């Protein structure tokens, strides 16, 4: 049987940042959900100084797909090659490379893809071409924005992370069930006014109306990936407040890593602020630290409320079993 036809695409952009800065963002795959809009979640598996195994969940033409890739990193040449080991149909095979080159005023970034569609199906070819073009264009634009933003740790850094935890005297399965069954949240959580949930291929799609302390209602949309065997649910908001350029997070349920009694349930948030959104939310004189505090309080309050109710739910179930 003949192999499906290999096709090649090329996308490029000029970035006003040094090649080392740009290459670092591309190499840091675990942070891609904060940088690249299409990427929902990325996990780095086996790795050394030049090779990485990646598991990636990302949007392709509006639907979350999953694949496994191996990457070869060459920091000296600012080049990263990649090849999918396990593809998601209708992709039969796919690979490519990121190449960063110094140019006057910054860097040129070229993103190459080579791919083949299952059975050379023309509809599949068009679907893949569209997905590659949409994602590559979005990723290169996002890369340019991230490369010119203040770096993490700077006083005006737009990206930050935080967490809230609660100790629970109950079963991990009950805590996970509470967090996983988001369709039950309107009757279980006081700040959730409405929630619509659908699930396809292990991916949850949520739209939620949340009540703020002032009585206003805000609509958000998220995709979630539950990993019951790890006691973890990771998510990415795809519809959020204008102040948030990106918001990802995860719920983690398990033993206290420091050896404390009972379970520890933790809500983690990673946030990238939008400068224009800061002015819209807090006014033109607002500072990044003010926006960070406002966002941290809003997201943390909702997370803490959810964790408190998860604790009550799991501990009540434990009492019923005694």
Q: Confirm whether 106 is domain-assigned.
A: yes
Q: Which residues is 178 bridged to in the sheet?
A: none
Looking at the fold, whether 166 and 314 belong to one and the same domain comes out as yes
CB under 8 Å, gap of 24 or more: what pairs does 144-148 form? Answer: 144/13, 144/14, 144/15, 144/16, 144/17, 144/109, 146/25, 146/35, 147/15, 147/16, 147/17, 147/21, 147/22, 147/25, 147/107, 148/15, 148/16, 148/17
Return the residue matching tokens 């209602």.
Answer: 217
Measured between alpha carbons, how far is 67 from 175 in angstroms, rounded to an integer? 29
Tokens representing 58 are: 């990302």
For the domain that residue 46 is a member of, what is the CATH number?
3.30.530.20
pLDDT at 153: 67
pLDDT at 215: 81
- φ and ψ at 73, to 5 degrees? -105, 130
Looking at the fold, whether 105 and 163 belong to one and the same domain comes out as no
Looking at the fold, whether 207 and 119 belong to one and the same domain comes out as no
Q: Confirm whether 1 is domain-assigned.
A: no
- φ and ψ at 263, to 5 degrees? -95, 160
Q: Confirm whether 154 is domain-assigned.
A: no
pLDDT-derived band of residue 257, with 50, 70 and 90 as boundaries?
Answer: confident
Q: Tell me, rounded to whole angstroms, the distance of Cα 34 from its chain centroid.
A: 6
pTM of the predicted structure, to 2 decimals: 0.93
pLDDT-derived band of residue 305, with 50, 70 and 90 as boundaries?
Answer: very high
Looking at the fold, whether 182 and 297 belong to one and the same domain comes out as yes
Q: Confirm whether 152 is domain-assigned.
A: no
Among 112, 127, 147, residue at a domain's last position: 147
pLDDT at 271: 96
Looking at the fold, whether 134 and 224 belong to one and the same domain comes out as no
| Element at 198 (helix H, strand E) | strand 192-200
Measured between alpha carbons, how far is 124 from 60 in angstroms, rounded to an integer? 12
141-187: pLDDT as tens digits? 999 999 998 876 665 789 999 999 999 999 999 999 999 999 999 99
Q: Domain range spanning residue 221?
A: 159-321
Looking at the fold, whether 255 and 125 belong to one and the same domain comes out as no
How many helices (H) and strands (E) would you count in the chain? 7, 14
The percentage of the chain sitting over the pLDDT mark of 90, rounded to a whole number, equals 88
Cα–Cα separations (whole angstroms), residue 150 to 107, 129, 171? 17, 34, 43
Looking at the fold, whether 169 and 310 belong to one and the same domain comes out as yes
Looking at the fold, whether 105 and 164 belong to one and the same domain comes out as no
Q: Confirm whether 302 is domain-assigned.
A: yes
Q: Confirm whether 233 is domain-assigned.
A: yes
Contact between 25 and 261 under an 8 Å Cβ cutoff? The reply is no
Q: Confirm whether 23 is domain-assigned.
A: yes
Among 94, 127, 147, residue at a domain's last position: 147
Among 126, 147, 168, residue at a domain's last position: 147
Looking at the fold, whether 128 and 73 belong to one and the same domain comes out as yes
**Three-class secondary structure of residue 243 per DSSP:** coil
Question: What spatial distance separates the first Cα and last Cα of the chain, rounded to whole Å?
Answer: 63
Looking at the fold, whether 166 and 311 belong to one and the same domain comes out as yes
Q: Confirm whether 177 is domain-assigned.
A: yes
Residue-wise burial string across 237-267, b where 16 or more C-beta atoms lie within 10 A, e elsewhere: bbebbebbbbbbbbbbbeeeeeeeeebbbbb
Looking at the fold, whether 11 and 126 belong to one and the same domain comes out as yes
Which residues have C-beta within 8 Å of that of residue 128, sequence separation ≥ 6?
A: 90, 91, 94, 115, 117
Average pLDDT value for the chain: 94
| 252 closest CA partner among 133, 165, 149 | 165
Total domains present in the chain: 2
pLDDT at 262: 82
Looking at the fold, whether 198 and 309 belong to one and the same domain comes out as yes
């Amino acid at each position: 049987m003949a192999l499906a036809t290999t096709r090649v695409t090329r996308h490029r952009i000029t970035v006003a940042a040094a090649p080392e800065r740009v290459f670092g963002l591309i190499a840091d795959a675990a942070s891609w959900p904060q940088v690249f809009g299409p990427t929902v979640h990325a996990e780095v598996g086996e790795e050394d100084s030049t090779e990485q195994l990646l598991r990636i969940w990302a949007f392709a033409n509006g639907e979350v797909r999953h694949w496994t890739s191996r990457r070869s990193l060459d920091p000296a040449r600012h080049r990263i090659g990649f090849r999918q080991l396990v593809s998601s149909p209708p992709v039969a095979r796919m690979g490519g490379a990121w190449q960063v080159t110094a140019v006057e005023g910054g860097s040129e970034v070229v993103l190459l893809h080579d791919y083949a569609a299952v059975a050379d199906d023309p509809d599949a070819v068009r679907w893949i071409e569209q997905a590659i073009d949409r994602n590559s264009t979005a990723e290169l634009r996002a890369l340019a924005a991230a490369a010119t933003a203040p770096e993490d740790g700077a006083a005006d850094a737009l990206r930050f992370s935080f967490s809230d935890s609660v100790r629970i005297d109950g079963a991990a399965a009950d805590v996970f069930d509470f967090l996983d069954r988001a369709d039950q949240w309107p009757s279980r959580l006081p700040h959730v006014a409405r929630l619509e949930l659908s699930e396809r291929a292990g991916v949850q799609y949520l739209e939620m109306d949340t009540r703020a302390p002032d009585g206003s209602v805000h609509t958000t949309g998220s995709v979630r990936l539950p990993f019951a065997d790890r006691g973890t649910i990771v998510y990415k908001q795809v519809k959020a407040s204008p102040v948030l350029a990106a918001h990802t997070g995860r719920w983690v349920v398990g033993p206290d890593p420091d050896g404390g009694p009972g379970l520890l349930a933790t809500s983690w948030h990673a946030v990238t602020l939008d400068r224009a959104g800061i002015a819209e939310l807090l006014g033109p004189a607002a500072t990044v630290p003010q926006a960070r505090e406002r966002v941290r309080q809003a997201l943390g309050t909702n997370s803490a409320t959810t964790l408190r109710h998860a604790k009550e739910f799991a501990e009540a179930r434990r009492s019923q079993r005694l």
